[in-house]
Structure 1
Amino acid sequence: MVRVKKEKALLSTTDLGFESEGVLNPAAVKEGNTVHLLYRAVRKGNFSSIGYCKLDGPLTIADRMISPLLSPEYDYERHGMEDPRIVKIDDTYYLSYVAFDGTDALGAVATSTDLIHFDKKGIIVPQLKCSEFDLLAKRNNADIIARYRDDYNSPEVIIMDKDVVFFPRRVNGKLMFLHRIKPDIQLVAVNSLDELTEDFWEGYVSDLKDNIVLTPKNLHELNYVGAGCPPVETECGWLVIYHGVQHFDNGYHYSACAALFDLDDPRKEIARLPYPLFVPDQPYELAGDVDNVCFPTGTALFDDTLYIYYGAGDDVIACASVILKELVDELLAFDIRKR
């Protein structure tokens, strides 16, 4: 079993109004010895904005803004900008987040070249009512509609599509990102964001079975899985740290999980750990705004150590670490190509 070190809880709430109710689920991007954390900051009433903290090295706070870096501006995000992730591709940062209007929670993107000024591109995932989803998805396997409609009763409700996470470089010339329509993780590959039209998504959902990259398999992810941190490129494949969810009598438990995918074709799963990478076991993970939560959303590699930043208890930001080679070697022990 791979060794994981729980480093500490890094950030918690402050008396500042915009983050007085919770700080969680940080995006992370490393540049030199600096780690930029862009995190979900929650104010009273469960309204979220994006806060900013700069780390010197993986664990030392160097600076923290006293006001939001980004706040809701448009109707589609009027109740909050939640759960950010970030990558830098060439000279552009892609900040993905959940746009919540009070009813619908959908993946959105903003781009930047300086981490100061952001150009909001809006919602980039499909905005399909359940009835529309059913018409398109019926071309897939017979169980697709039943599995994907488990959380929805009304045909007029829009299917939630969250956890948009970009790959940190183009793959075969394509922009690629993971996203999550429960209970699976899916993958999108396009030349540019402009291709994500209504027609594109209709074709995509019609062939949804071909776009699923990860589906629940193990007990700790039995109910559903969701994209977590941006994929980490290794010689052996794309390392994807995601969250797995299992329901217990006291509610859902969120664990950090790990899988490996082919470098040239990330739709091909190479291996996944049959056990969680780490689970809620610290006081700040076991009890919070939501109990029993480890929700990984960002990483930073320092030498041979991968630092994993995550939301703990939906209340604070914490960090765990693992030796990257040890994790990849452990994953390769479960290589499905050798079966």
Structure 2
Amino acid sequence: MILHDALIFTPDDVDLARSPLAGRIDAETYVLGAFNPGLTRLPSGNLLLMVRVAEALKHPVRDQHIHAIRWEAGRYRLDPWPIGQVDPSDPRKFTMRQAGWRVMALTSLSWLLPVELSPDGRRVEAVHYAHALAPGAPYECYGIEDARISRIGNLWYMTVCAVSPERHCTVLYTSDDALHWQRQGIVLDHQNKDMLLFEGLIEGRFWAQTRPLGDLYFAYPPDSTWRAGPAINLASSPDALHWKPCDHPGLRPHAATLHTARMGGGAPPVLTDQGWLSLWHGVEPAGVAGIYRTYWSLLDAAEPWRVLRTEHDPLITPNPALTEPLKDRMYLENIVFTTGIVDAGDHYLVASGEADLACRMTWIDKRAFG
């Protein structure tokens, strides 16, 4: 049961004069999106969103070339690509026209902006530009995306997707206050996205949901309950740095519906009296990006590969009414991408990216998971 739903932070709320790129790039930029926020509670009781700001070139095409922003050795550069060599049909990226495998570059560079909210999540208290996270290693040169934050013991653990020509990987940051973050480096290698740490240890070990991608999947038998494709796997670790994939499968697409033909992690799993509550996204193939919805499952507290319950009706669906005031900024639709959850007593606060554009907060009665 959704109690309340609102956009809490939008591109208009970002001050690009305080961006990590400000004064360091010879081009005019704008905020393509401020979305997909990690969510946690600060020691003060206030909430923290770690917002992905996708900063894009206002005029990417000049002199018959399309440009990409790239960080290199402390500087931001503009890489020119002949317009005839790329396919720019997707507003988020352009694909190289070449034989063989798919190669792309991004139309924006993403960095992370800490936004402090009131304890109830209804108003912005502060925007911490001084603590913004921008690319700082070669494997982050095209940006840092889609933070997920888990508090485990006295530390906060944040996973991000780092993008570069070297690899498309998961990088771990840690903090003792959720504002000052230390980069710990790569923890999952190429094209393993949507890594979320469970908010708590299981028999002394860290556990995480992962989502490796590939160009090939082997078919299940024709009468199987499952559908082959991107799914949510599990891994465990003694220290959150070195991960062993779980031998058991995790959450898999069901053959009976196309609404979840592709799956990926959403919010870090939180422990309830019934087990681990996992919010995840399912993607129905459609259009350029597909239709993204949020679903939920309950996982066994001691054996998280055992799925106790999965709800096949979506918990959160795209809400065009929320983005109506921003319709002139829209470039995608039919997307809600959940990235965070915190306990608020009799309800949960759930943070999502809406339409790859803005940060959405949803208040959900705990009885929805009964």
For Structure 1 versus Structure 2, the TM-score category normalised by the shorter chain is 0.7 to 0.9
> Residues of 2 paired with 1:30 and 1:92: CA distance?
12
Provide, for residues 62-98 of structure 1, a one-character-per-residue CA deviation record: whole Å limited to 9, x for no partner: 1112456211100101111100011111121101000
> Are residues 1:47 and 2:109 paired?
yes
> Are residues 1:281 and 2:344 paired?
no
> Residues of 1 paired with 2:15 and 2:189: CA distance?
37
Contact 1:284 1:316 in 2 (8 A): no
Provide, for residues 212-262 of structure 1, a one-character-per-residue CA deviation record: whole Å limited to 9, x for no partner: 210111525432110010112110011001111001256500001110000
Provide, for residues 42-68 of structure 1, a one-character-per-residue CA deviation record: whole Å limited to 9, x for no partner: 111410111011111222111112456
Structure 1 residues 104 and 12, CA, compared in 2 at 3 Å: closer, same or farther?
A: same
Which residues in structure 2 correspond to 1:90-101 (within 5 Å)?
90-101=153-164
Q: What's the CA shift for 1:119?
A: 2.1
Contact 2:293 2:336 in 1 (8 A): yes
Which deviates the most, 212-221 or 308-317? Answer: 212-221
Instruction: Pick one of 233, 236, 242 that aligns with 1:186.
Output: 233
> Residues of 2 paired with 1:68 and 1:49: CA distance?
11
> Are residues 1:262 and 2:300 paired?
yes
Which secondary structure does the structure 2 equivalent of 1:276 belong to?
strand
Contact 2:4 2:364 in 1 (8 A): no
Which residues in structure 2 correspond to 1:1-339 (within 5 Å)?
3-13=1-11, 14-16=14-16, 18=19, 20-31=31-42, 33-44=45-56, 45-57=107-119, 58-66=121-129, 69-102=132-165, 104-127=167-190, 160-182=191-213, 183-196=230-243, 204=245, 210-217=247-254, 219=257, 221-249=259-287, 251-284=289-322, 288-324=330-366, 326-329=367-370
Contact 1:188 1:211 in 2 (8 A): no
Q: Which has the higher helix share?
A: 1
Contact 2:139 2:164 in 1 (8 A): yes
Q: What's the CA shift for 1:317?
A: 0.3
TM-score, normalising length: structure 1: 0.78
Q: Which has the higher strand share?
A: 2
Which secondary structure does the structure 2 equivalent of 1:327 belong to?
helix
Which secondary structure does the structure 2 equivalent of 1:193 belong to?
coil
Contact 1:291 1:313 in 2 (8 A): yes
Contact 2:35 2:53 in 1 (8 A): yes
Q: Which segments of 5 or more consecutive residues in structure 1 lack a partner in the other structure? A: 128-159, 330-339
Contact 1:285 1:291 in 2 (8 A): no
Q: What's the CA shift for 1:327?
A: 2.1
> Residues of 1 paired with 2:134 and 2:343: CA distance?
29
Q: What's the CA shift for 1:102?
A: 4.9
> Residues of 2 paired with 1:233 and 1:311: CA distance?
23
Structure 1: which amino acid aligns with 2:170?
A: G
> Residues of 1 paired with 2:302 and 2:175: CA distance?
27
Contact 2:196 2:208 in 1 (8 A): yes
Structure 1 residues 314 and 284, CA, compared in 2 at 3 Å: closer, same or farther?
A: farther
> Residues of 2 paired with 1:126 and 1:250: CA distance?
26
Structure 1 residues 185 and 221, CA, compared in 2 at 3 Å: closer, same or farther?
A: farther
In structure 2, the residue matched to 1:136 is none
Which deviates the most, 231-240 or 57-66? Answer: 57-66
Structure 1 residues 220 and 36, CA, compared in 2 at 3 Å: closer, same or farther?
A: farther
Q: What's the CA shift for 1:125?
A: 1.1
Q: Percent of aligned pairs with the same residue?
A: 23
Contact 1:220 1:276 in 2 (8 A): no
TM-score, normalising length: structure 2: 0.72
Structure 1 residues 194 and 52, CA, compared in 2 at 3 Å: closer, same or farther?
A: closer
Structure 2: which amino acid aligns with 1:47?
A: L
Contact 1:285 1:293 in 2 (8 A): no
Provide, for residues 264-312 of structure 1, a one-character-per-residue CA deviation record: whole Å limited to 9, x for no partner: 1111100111111121132446963321110000112212011111000
Provide, for residues 9-33 of structure 1, a one-character-per-residue CA deviation record: whole Å limited to 9, x for no partner: 1101134154722111111112463
Structure 1 residues 46 and 328, CA, compared in 2 at 3 Å: closer, same or farther?
A: same
Contact 1:285 1:292 in 2 (8 A): no
Which secondary structure does the structure 2 equivalent of 1:171 belong to?
coil
Structure 1 residues 225 and 317, CA, compared in 2 at 3 Å: closer, same or farther?
A: same
Q: Which of structures 1 and 2 has the bigger CA Rg?
A: 2
Structure 1 residues 250 and 39, CA, compared in 2 at 3 Å: closer, same or farther?
A: closer
> Residues of 2 paired with 1:280 and 1:75: CA distance?
35
Which deviates the most, 168-177 or 114-123? Answer: 114-123
Structure 1 residues 7 and 123, CA, compared in 2 at 3 Å: closer, same or farther?
A: same
Which secondary structure does the structure 1 equivalent of 2:368 belong to?
helix
In structure 1, the residue matched to 2:218 is none
> Residues of 2 paired with 1:115 and 1:238: CA distance?
23
Computed over aligned residues only, the root mean square deviation of the Cα atoms, in angstroms, reads: 2.1
Count of paired positions: 284
Contact 2:131 2:179 in 1 (8 A): no
